[in-house]
Structure 1
Amino acid sequence: MKKIALIITALLFVGIAFAQEDGSTLDQPVRRPVEYPWQNMETDTFSVPVAPVFVRHADVMYYHTVWRIIDLREKRNHPYYFPTLARGTWKSLAQTIFDAIDIDNTDRANRLSVYDDEFCTREKSLDDIRATLAEPKMQHERDPETGEIINSIPFFEPFTADQILSYRIREVWFFDKQRSVMEVRILSIEPIIEYVREVNVGDGGGNEEDNILGGEPITRSGGHILWEELRPYLKQQEMFNIKNNAARISFDDAMTWKRQFATVIYQEQNVYGDREIQQYIKNSRDQRIESERINEKIRNFEHELWEF
């Protein structure tokens, strides 16, 4: 009797062991492929943005506001444009901004605000943001027999990150006499969307089915974003470092502190209502010279402070 009990107990242990082995094989999580051997190291997100130094208004003895344009077609600005599609952890600056705005999120507290003016005083509603970041189109419903349009449904097609080809930034240069330094701080950024809008040009006769589609280049603003509100999102996104891939750098580090981008001044604060350079200089070459003159004026002010 004891032998029978021992045999039954042994069989039960063997069955449990096989069941555990099969279960462990089925429940084992799928490991994601590792591209580099050091990716299993600590690769958590960046820290919070570094707060700028507090400056008292009484210590600012000089300041000048300028507007710049960052053209992503320039080679130095390519790290902000590519990749046009998210590739692993890499994102473009435009995709980072789109993800922060999150037009599908109705909770205002968990998305980035977009403003209607460059001074960021009038915040856009969610419907206005969707209309700004999407192209209005019409979906036509046709009669299957005659081919005539019997119904048209309007809809919005969201813009993609590769359609943002430039940014306009508003920044202020000021001299802090308490620390005796000349500093610059970005105040706001404005994505510029460039796309080709399809228009029905027709062929001059025949049925509407014979009409062809043409293209009209459109340039429009993507809204204004307060820089300090955008910085936490930029700090969490790693940017491609063209000099050394091992040196991690975020968009916030590259733009706020290192200023690793090429820009051209197109507007400065002036008595004529902050008019743009192109409003009083028509030649493109002279406009570039005027932009450099404004840059030189700001640099010379700091240099002349130390003359004795």
Structure 2
Amino acid sequence: MKKLLFLFIGLFLISGVFTTTDAQGVDGVYTKHLTAKRKPIPFQYIREADVMWSKVLTRRVNLTEKRNLSLYYPTVEMEGRKSLIQLMMWGIKNKSLTPFASDEFLTQFTLNEIDERFGAGVDTTYDIDPETGETIPLITKKPADISEVKELLIKERWIFDKQRSIMEARIIGLCPIRVYYRDDDLDHEEARVKKLFWVFFPEARNIFASEAIYNPKNQSQEMTFDDYFIKRMFEGYIFKESNVYDNRLIQDYATGLDVLLESERIKDEIFSFEHDLWEF
């Protein structure tokens, strides 16, 4: 009888240890596994003959604005969460996501080329050896600073599908932008911007659909990066539209406040086109 009692107590203690260990691993409540298994929802098929109107636009998104902060943070490695640029780089390194040099998606970048555009690499400085008096090189590795990725370009095509009688936007590609200062610009007087690479959005959807984006309103209602972009929850302004002038930027012919006004004009033009198709 005593042997059975000791056996029961031993099993109880062992199960308690495993339960405690598992609880610590899953934050004490439940295991999150649904998002990792998700797949992107396929788009509705569109026939070319049903597209009666289309326009290609590029939007510029400031990731540090309040509505876009879920794309910007975290800026350091964090368990269970990734920012957009962290997810992109993870996809490039581990899931064969292709980085392209332009929004034409023809020329590919290598990882070394991306590191160079990030400003990462090896820095060589020189110092005097106090014993010999000789000049010696000091080599230091400079890592990529993902917190410098503060803007995003989104290339999209707006179409009117006469078969379904709807106007909708399909995202074509994404381009993270690095905003940085020169090392000798100690007062941060002149910000520089550099496009890092383009990713083809349809190719990236499988990766985006399997990673949750932070939901500040309800953390148990997980939303993926794919959901975030498909539902168009980002905030930005129109940066470029397809035109006869070889896709010139709005800032090429407008400055200051006029850039935002031109962006609003293009947005209103799309809205008016759709509105005028209907008879009330």
TM-score (norm 2): 0.84
Aligned-pair identity (%) = 31
Count of residues in correspondence between the two structures: 267
Question: Which residue number corresponds to residue 123 of structure 1?
Answer: 108
Deviation at 1:275, TM superposition (A): 1.0
Is the aligned partner of 1:293 residue 2:279? no
CA distance in 2, matches of 1:218, 1:136: 19
Is the aligned partner of 1:255 residue 2:229? yes
Q: Which runs of 5+ in 1 are unaligned?
A: 1-13, 202-212
Question: Which residue number corresponds to residue 275 of structure 1?
Answer: 248
SS at match of 2:275: helix
Q: Residues 182, 31 of structure 1: CA spacing in aligned structure 2 closer, same or farther, 3 A cutoff?
A: same
- Considering only aligned residues, what root-mean-square deviation do their CA atoms show, in Å? 2.9
Question: Which residue number corresponds to residue 216 of structure 2?
Answer: 242
Deviation at 1:85, TM superposition (A): 2.2
Question: Which residue number corresponds to residue 180 of structure 2?
Answer: 195
Is the aligned partner of 1:170 residue 2:155? yes
- Letter aligned with residue 55 of structure 2: H
- Letter aligned with residue 299 of structure 1: F
Q: Which whole-Å deviations, capped at 9, do the CAs of 1:29-80 have from their partners, x for residues lacking one? A: 6445167553247556141111111111111110001110110121111111
Deviation at 1:228, TM superposition (A): 1.0
Deviation at 1:222, TM superposition (A): 1.0
Q: Which whole-Å deviations, capped at 9, do the CAs of 1:203-250 have from their partners, x for residues lacking one? A: xxxxxxxxxx78664321111111111111111111111222221100
Q: Which whole-Å deviations, capped at 9, do the CAs of 1:252-278 have from their partners, x for residues lacking one? A: 10112x111101011111111111111
Q: Which whole-Å deviations, capped at 9, do the CAs of 1:169-211 have from their partners, x for residues lacking one? A: 1100001111111110110111001223323x9xxxxxxxxxx
Conserved? CA contact 1:119–1:188, under 8 Å: no
Question: Which residue number corresponds to residue 196 of structure 2?
Answer: 222
- Letter aligned with residue 189 of structure 1: L
- Letter aligned with residue 298 of structure 1: I
Q: Which runs of 5+ in 2 are unaligned?
A: none
| Equivalent residues in 2 for 1:31-42, closer than 5 Å | 31=22, 33=24, 37-40=28-31
Q: Residues 151, 75 of structure 1: CA spacing in aligned structure 2 closer, same or farther, 3 A cutoff?
A: same
Question: Which residue number corresponds to residue 58 of structure 2?
Answer: 67
Deviation at 1:125, TM superposition (A): 2.9
Is the aligned partner of 1:79 residue 2:70? yes
- Letter aligned with residue 259 of structure 1: R
Query: Radius of gyration: which is bigger?
Result: 1
CA distance in 1, matches of 2:156, 2:142: 32
SS at match of 1:253: helix
| Equivalent residues in 2 for 1:2-21, closer than 5 Å | none
CA distance in 2, matches of 1:94, 1:114: 12
Conserved? CA contact 1:238–1:250, under 8 Å: yes
Q: Residues 147, 71 of structure 1: CA spacing in aligned structure 2 closer, same or farther, 3 A cutoff?
A: farther
Conserved? CA contact 1:198–1:214, under 8 Å: no
TM-score (norm 1): 0.77
SS at match of 1:85: coil
CA distance in 1, matches of 2:239, 2:133: 50
CA distance in 2, matches of 1:40, 1:115: 36
